[in-house]
Amino acid sequence: MKYKPSIRAIFDTYTGSMAGAIDQRNMEMQSRMIKNVMVICGLIILCFSDSIAQGDDNIAWLSVSGTTKIAKDWTFNFTPILRLNEDFSEYQNFSLDYAFKNKINANWSFQVLGRTWFLPNGTQRQFLWPQVVYSHKVKDIAWSHRVRWHQAFDIEERFDPDFIRYQQQLKYTAWGKFQPFIALELWWGLNGILQIERLRYIPGISYKFNDVVSLSAALWRQESLNLTPEMDVNIWRVNLAFNLPSLWKEK
């Protein structure tokens, strides 16, 4: 008696072979993705190696931040920041950031951020930064645009200039918890100056451990323009972020 495979057997064999082919394609895609990551990292290192070597200083900004929901569309963030300069060998200063953020809709948000800067000589620096952010996705790319009014308050004969700052950021989101990003920020001087005075080039990564904890690390390559003397520094920014329990309970 000749064996005749059932329709179910034929279907199982077909779907099994299709699944195997899909798995093979996924492995090939992952392999290409890893190679692309290595190429991107290599290009970033090459592009910034000369700049890093020529920088006037390497400064570390190390922080831990906490964010909690305080209303339906409002969150509050608190971030203490420790800074080390002279190629990470000396304590520079400490500051506290505090921010209220309003999510207007899926694309737009508004935030007011304050920073109190505590200097070693006992004086302070005080900033207030209202900002608007527009963000959207193009396939696996999250694209954001931020405009910030950088207001500095003069304290104890210390003068800090004011700026309008524009930052554009691209973040690749297809790798789930691990997301590389690049950004460029322009600092337009106010106080009668009305010219670009600083640039920041920012490559970085973020990693989401879970719904509560995430880590971000970035290099802020900051270059001065139209200033004498010029000051070019590398700011190594590392932040451990926590999503805290909500203070707002929906009724």
Same domain, 8 and 80: no
Same domain, 31 and 81: no
Report the 10 Å Cβ neighbour count for 219: 19
- What is the reported pLDDT for 32? 61
Average pLDDT over residues 132-138: 95
- What is the reported pLDDT for 53? 53
182 band by pLDDT with thresholds 50, 70 and 90: very high
Same domain, 24 and 79: no
- What is the reported pLDDT for 193? 85
Look at the block and give the residue holding tokens 């972020």. Answer: 241
- Is 250 domain-assigned? no
226: helix, coil or strand? coil
**Residues 203/216, Cβ–Cβ less than 8 Å:** no
In terms of phi and psi (left: phi > 0; alpha: psi -120 to 50; beta: otherwise), the region of 41 is alpha
pLDDT in tens, 39-87: 555 555 555 555 555 568 999 999 999 999 999 999 999 999 999 999 9
Q: Among residues 130, 216, 223, 123, which one has the least CA distance to residue 177?
A: 216
What's the domain range around 31? 1-54
Same domain, 18 and 135: no
**Greater model confidence, 9 or 115:** 115
174: helix, coil or strand? coil
- What is the reported pLDDT for 191? 87
- Is 116 domain-assigned? yes
